[in-house]
Structure 1
């Protein structure tokens, strides 16, 4: 079990390698932050830069922020080896400023419920991205930007509008194998059409499954 799985079973991680902290309950970051690879934080507040309340860490692989008040991502280079960044209900997030500092490491980016968020060339610099989820974010003009991600496998934009409605760049992309979105009238393709087109491009060899009783999770092998 590691950061590559879509759903991580944190109880299966190595003891002492995971931190989950709510800043409403404890305002100072746990001293163990610099020693772990996996961190989930709730209600992180910043003063000047977005991550000024967190120490630097070269060990951090997975960082999840829930209800943080950041407006941009300046200072995220404190975590130079970060592989996966999850931002949920960071409703004040406006842009991707600072994200390019992770261009050599970040492979999985999930932004969810940030309606003010729009991206720039900072996001487009992430050439190592394998998974990109921009769910319930600000509208996207078109999907031509996907060509900037030569290794992208999974792209999701659930409840995020593509203004021009052209979804063909998903099918035309050489490595995308799975996608998630809500059907809209002005889209030129429906979800089932896109799924069929992508399924015809490859088998399931790019997926690896892990099981826990009746449950399973998957990662993309790359």
Structure 2
């Protein structure tokens, strides 16, 4: 299987859901009802749990919705295979097996959510809400991580020293590697004592620097 990479998607875009249930009629009904709940939903269905991992691997699935008991495989078997491809894939068990033991096992295995099948229409509204919530959270986290990596790359590709302290100088939040080359002081020294930044500064400039940093800490440019 290929190494998984989360697609560049943003909130509001299409959500690709893969539903797996070994009962064809029920699978068809759920697929249609879920698709009707949200215009963003594109629901794909399979009755063969053994092919779920391959579909996830190649088709850019955003969320897996799975039954629990399916012949020789359980939904948790499917979860295990999916997690090998994408450890953060939203995975919801939608099952009529509602024992506390199964629920506990599902939670321990790391399912994103657990919903008991019901005949009422409201269950699809609930499912749709849970699917959207988990997918949108995952996308937001992916975008935040990507932005953080991009900012880190920008910070490392500059000749300036860039650093962030907490307002009281008690914690070093971030510093780029240019600091060591410019000031001859290790980053670990600053992590242990952020005020060590003052050590390479000429004694005549320390007071001015402290005043300037205090202004910045108070929100003034």
Alignment TM-score > 0.5, same fold? no
If each structure's helix is expressed as a fraction of its own residues, which one has the higher value? 2
For CA contacts below 8 A with separation 6 or more, give which structure has more relative contact order. 2
Bin for the TM-score computed over the shorter chain: under 0.3
Q: Counting strand residues as a fraction of each chain, which structure ranks higher? A: 1
TM-score where L is the length of structure 2:
0.28
